[in-house]
Amino acid sequence: MMRRMMLPLALVTLAAAPARMPAETAIREGMDASAAGWNAGDLVRFMDIYADDAVFVTPKGLLRGKNAISAKYRPSFRSTGNARGRLSFAFLEMRGLDPAHAMLFARWTLTGSSTTESGMTTLVFERRGTMWRIIADHSS
């Protein structure tokens, strides 16, 4: 009589599931893609990393929602790039808060033709499906 080998269900499930990218890698790639959108003058690509219900901190108060945040940025976007300069990030520290949330501390830099601006950002990310999205942005 032939014996069949039975694999535990958990092992079969793991083998069938697609590998999930580590949070830090996914977030860094998302931020790089967002900066590339900024630099290309593509507001939609820049904003893709934001959740629809994201909150953005401004000196005047909170902007609630991706549409309101997009409206804040829209005036500087041109088909040739962003009028404020070329965006880059220096990732300083990433902290996992729980399996579905992470916080990124980074320095942003905008390099223009004659000036350079730089500041700090604290971003809270939430895993939504297979993507990590910004749910809170405090940049200064």
Tell me what pLDDT residue 113 has.
83
Q: How far is CA 89 from CA 18, 66, 107, in A?
A: 29, 21, 6
48 phi and psi, to 5 degrees? -55, -30
- For residue 100, tell me if it sits in a domain: yes
Tell me what pLDDT residue 17 has.
39
> Any idea what the CATH number is for the domain that residue 47 is in?
3.10.450.50
How many domains are contained in the chain? Answer: 1
- For residue 11, tell me if it sits in a domain: no
- The rounded average pLDDT for each run of 10 residues, N- to C-terminus, in the chain (140 residues) is 42 43 93 98 98 96 98 95 95 96 98 93 96 96
Range of the domain at 135: 21-139
Tell me what pLDDT residue 21 has.
77
